[in-house]
Amino acid sequence: MRVTIRDVARACAVDVSTVSRALAGVRGISDETRSRVLEAAERLSYVPNRVARGLATGRSQSLGLLISDIRNPFFADVARGAEDAAFAAGFDLILGNADLESERQMRYIRSLVEKRVDGLVMNSVTALSKTEIAELVSYRVPVVLLVRPRSASAFSTVSADNFEGGRAAGTYLLGLGHRNVAHLTGSPRHANLWARGQGFRKAVQDGGSRVRCTVLRGDHTQQGGSELARRLFKSNPEVTAIFAGNDAMAYGVLRAAAECGRRIPETLSLIGFDNVDISAIVHPPLTTIHQPRYEMGKASVEILVRKIHEANPVTEHRVFGVQLVERASCRAL
Amino acid sequence: MRVTIRDVARACAVDVSTVSRALAGVRGISDETRSRVLEAAERLSYVPNRVARGLATGRSQSLGLLISDIRNPFFADVARGAEDAAFAAGFDLILGNADLESERQMRYIRSLVEKRVDGLVMNSVTALSKTEIAELVSYRVPVVLLVRPRSASAFSTVSADNFEGGRAAGTYLLGLGHRNVAHLTGSPRHANLWARGQGFRKAVQDGGSRVRCTVLRGDHTQQGGSELARRLFKSNPEVTAIFAGNDAMAYGVLRAAAECGRRIPETLSLIGFDNVDISAIVHPPLTTIHQPRYEMGKASVEILVRKIHEANPVTEHRVFGVQLVERASCRAL
DNA sequence: CTGAAAGCGCTAACAG
DNA sequence: CTGTTAGCGCTTTCAG
């Protein structure tokens, strides 16, 4: 049997409540008894039982992190930021990979609620139906989202300024003299990709009427990028610049370009979005839009923790600025 | 106040213990009362409290995953495998990034033990001192390690066959006709890297006396790979093939080679270890040794779960085969 | 098959 | 400042 608070109490002839107080480090206990208790606890190698504590206090000191896939480097960075913030605040982080599948996502949510997590940071709720979202809300657990849903909601959010990023990409390309540009992106239901596209479109519109802009949609993966690029090269061979919805797609473009004999950046400029680690390693080094992933993860649990501690929590929306990282995949016309 | 098992009991005029039995799905309860209880639970939107259950049963149904850094794609894959296996077995996974810092690692271990995790999968214990390991053992929590320590220990392990991988790299290079080869690696304290080097050395020895093999040690990072490569090009300019201890180092070599005007694979063959995702994207696509990361993560929690359920658990050592993935960074002499 | 009762280990008023 | 007294919500003997 494990040594409990009672054993410690017995060992120094005090009540368990006294031990509890000493261990909790509250004031209102004499220094002498405190150190006596602490010494005894140490000697008996007492290990507090947080689940018992959790039952008594109603707080588990753990948070849930529900993302689509930790293997996506974006989420790995976010997770690290989240984890560091949680660690600093004395919380543990329960990880869930939900693949944006609503059923899997709900199973996780229920499981986490049963474990009484004190809060939840989630990738997104876009895969959830209205009733599922209602269920989530009914659990009354503080939630921070990493994707700002277009509909208003009770959840706090942390996101990057995707719109501005898209616009920056557009003005950069136009500034380089490109007048026949393309945007390769994913499903319009993907809020982040959508905002990037909108920003890009805005830049193009502001660039005057002489610029041609073709938009192609497909899978927002390397594979998808390749396919779209090939289609683009056929339908609009005069295109001189591409804005890919994310870096993965940009790598696909890189591939397709190599196969189709289009040299980057000599005859085709390419800009991505994300600034994944390998962007600097790939050939040619990819010009892209950087979003502060680690900071976003960190901020999301900081907001969450604040929300947990506050009496009547406010829903907060924090958007992080993005930054164009100029490398070698774009060239002036 | 949340609805508890008592509310459900009251609602169908039975005792809480009956509700408990119905919910647990044990036999020895009439189908009629069971369905009545289940229906009431549903109607009241009862959400079981797993921390209370945990206190009563002594099991938390959660596991700890303690790795150095989730941003390392190797661990991201492992984590995903671990998470999938945990999910399938009804366990949650608490993530900890310990950076191989012993203090941080111990803080996590203590915190996880306080939370009464049912088991622990850890990257490695090599950063821990003898007393720290003793402390870990004293907690009597089932542990699976992802790095097989060279010393015997009470922990189960899951690892890749690093020795065989190193040997495969060596025989492959020799088979290509290379007779002046180099191995760039990290600290000899890093058990995996060490085994790879030993395997490589073995292949070289088996290759006869006419092959020259220089070994350089530094940081096992891209940066480190670059520096070692530059040093190598100075000290042994006739080298025709390099085996990098991991892919990150190989990328560093790629960089250094480009800067020093050595073309890969034309004048220099390069082989890595890990088969990180980008290996296929980088230029030239990297020939490397693949280890089944996802499967290793999966296996580690499967072993852990088995260990948890068994009465007198056996420590198990599972080693996964590796595979040479031939791409375009090596050429016959 | 079901109810009663006694905890699991800890916290939190409330007295003294 | 410390002890007493109730629980937190659930499981689990032990009777009936």
Name the one residue in this structure whose structure tokens are 């069971």: B34
- The CA–C1' separation of B286 and D2, in angstroms, is 70
Q: Which residues touch strand C (CB under 7 A)?
A: A 1-2, 4-6, 16-17, 20, 23-24, 46, 48-49, 52-53, 55-57; B 13-18, 21, 27-30, 32-34, 52, 55-56, 58
Maximum Cα interatomic distance, chain B, rounded to a whole number of Å: 87
How many residues make up chain B in this entry?
333
- pLDDT at position B100 is 83
> Considering only CA atoms, which of A74, A61, A79, A277 is closest in space to residue B67?
A79
- pLDDT at position B32 is 86
**Chain centre distance of CA A176:** 32
- pLDDT at position B205 is 94
Cα torsion A136, A138, A139, A141: sign: positive
Give the C-alpha separation, B199 to B161, whole Å.
Answer: 10
Give the C-alpha separation, A35 to B198, whole Å.
Answer: 52
- pLDDT at position A183 is 98
User: Tens digit of pLDDT for each residue in B226-254?
Assistant: 999 999 999 999 999 999 999 999 999 99
- Chain A residue with minimal CA distance to B77? A71
> Considering only CA atoms, which of B268, B245, B243 is closest in space to residue B257?
B268
Nucleotide nearest A58 (Cα, C1'): D8
CA distance B111 to chain A (A): 8
User: Which stretch of DSSP H or E encloses residue B246?
Assistant: none
Q: Name the residue among A95, A222, A281 with its Cβ closest to that of B83.
A: A95
Give the C-alpha separation, B109 to A47, whole Å.
Answer: 12
Answer whether the bond into residue B285 is a cis peptide, omega within 30°. no
- Residue B69 to residue A79, Cβ atoms within 8 A: no
Give the residue whose CA sits closest to D10 at C1'.
B53
**Chain centre distance of CA A168:** 21
Q: Name the residue among B49, B94, B114 with its Cβ closest to that of A48.
A: B114
pLDDT < 50 regions, chain B: none
- pLDDT at position A114 is 96
Q: Is B31 exposed, middle or buried (0-12, 13-18, 19+ CB in 10 A)?
A: exposed
Indicate the pTM of the whole model: 0.92
Contact B144, B157 (CB under 8 A): yes
Give the C-alpha separation, A121 to A145, whole Å.
Answer: 6
Give the C-alpha separation, B174 to B208, whole Å.
Answer: 10
- The vertex-B140 CA angle with B137 and B146, nearest 5°, equals 60
Q: Which residues touch strand D (CB under 7 A)?
A: A 13-18, 21, 27-30, 32-34, 52, 55-56, 58; B 1-2, 4-6, 16-17, 20-21, 23-24, 46, 48-49, 52-53, 55-57
B296 to chain A: which residues are within 8 Å by CB?
A: none
- Residue B94 to residue A92, Cβ atoms within 8 A: yes
- pLDDT at position B203 is 96
- Chain A residue with minimal CA distance to B104? A87
A95 to chain B: which residues are within 8 Å by CB?
A: 65, 79, 83, 93-95
- pLDDT at position A1 is 66
- List chain A pLDDT tens, one digit each, 333 residues: 689 999 998 888 888 888 888 888 776 788 888 888 898 899 999 999 999 999 999 999 999 999 999 998 899 999 999 999 999 999 999 999 988 899 999 999 999 999 999 999 999 888 899 999 999 999 999 999 998 877 767 899 999 999 999 999 999 999 999 999 999 999 998 889 999 999 999 999 998 778 999 999 999 988 999 999 999 999 999 999 999 999 999 999 998 998 898 999 999 999 999 998 788 778 888 999 999 999 999 999 999 999 999 878 789 999 999 999 999 999 998
- pLDDT at position B152 is 65
